[in-house]
Amino acid sequence: MKKMKRRNLGVFFQAALLLVMALAGADVAACIWDADTLSTEGQRSPTLAEIILADAPAATDPKPLRQRIESLRSSPRTDDPAWWNDLAGAHIRLGESQEAVKMLEPLLARFPDDYGIHANLGTAYHLLGRYQDAEREIARDLEINPEAHFGLEKYHLALLQYLIRDPEYQREHVYVDEWSKDYMSDMGFSMLGRMELLEASSTKDPGYILPGYRAKWDLAADPNFEKGVIYMASLNPREPACHVMLGIASLKAHDYNLGATAFEKAVELGSPQSDLLKKETNRLREFIQKSHEHQRTQNWTAWSLNGAFILLIAGIAIRIALVLKRRLAKR
């Protein structure tokens, strides 16, 4: 009988210990209200983080491209547009866009319906800063193949239709124009705390002429929106407008640290929206700081309450154990 009572007492002690350990290990931050840390955001949105946090792109190794050009020229297929596209593409990758333009312009009449000729020529024009010529060619390649580049080429058209506009327009809009409403005013983006208002819509200005791409596509509602913005930024790492859109994509995903970082890069690259971006970045940084302060306060309060509760339970467990021990000793 005494052995059974001792065994029951031991079981009770083990149960009490497990309860205390479980309480001590409870998740005290289950309801955190905060802007996640940059590393956490990077884990949640790795592709956005990679493009926003990337250093300057590495220089292209010219040797394989020179070898490709030599190989292509050694076996010419001048009646095949694919041969010309491969040759022009190699020159573009080498930074020889003018050479590609000289090669491709005479081919427009020969291959008017070839997607690659227009796409490569438009890209070469873009890299040379000839945005209107580039916009014409990219618009044409999208007529031939609306789903080009896995459905992302339309973002190239949107960017070009932004770049051909005057500086005042560029200051007051973003290149995925559906996101321009209310966010490029003198008050700044004012997105923070109003994420539910990030909806596609046209401008309120009755005299405003929509960019041409909007007659066919709603890019803000496009399921490939984030991929498209990332795609354009990867091809144009020095274009401020691309980093502004990376910032908007980050805020849309509630990645506030990444958003602030993207806006800061746009400012560094000379964005015409720099004053507004600085205001928004300051708001974001202030929000993040307050969020972390709030989290620390919550954690301290939670640990204090948990600690007091654990001590209370432990005290009760010890008290009960002592009472049972005395009763067992008397028997």
pLDDT at 52: 87
pLDDT at 38: 41
pLDDT at 131: 97
pTM: 0.71
What is the CATH architecture of 66-243? Answer: Alpha Horseshoe (1.25)
d(CA 101, CA 83): 15
Closest CA to 212 of 145, 151, 271, 165: 165
CB burial of residue 122 (10 Å; 0-12, 13-18, 19+): buried
User: Which residue ranges of the chain lie beneath pLDDT 50?
Assistant: 9, 11-13, 15-38, 41-42, 185-204, 294
pLDDT at 148: 87
pLDDT at 46: 77
Neighbours of 275 (CB within 10 A): 13
Angle at 276 between CA 182 and CA 51, to 5 degrees: 95
Q: Got the DSSP string for 202-248?
A: --S-TTPPPPGGGGT--GGG-TTHHHHHHHHHHH-TT-HHHHHHHHH
- Using CA atoms, how far residue 233 sits from 47, 51, 161, 236, 262, in Å, is 11, 7, 16, 5, 11
pLDDT at 309: 65
The full set of domain ranges for the chain reads 66-243
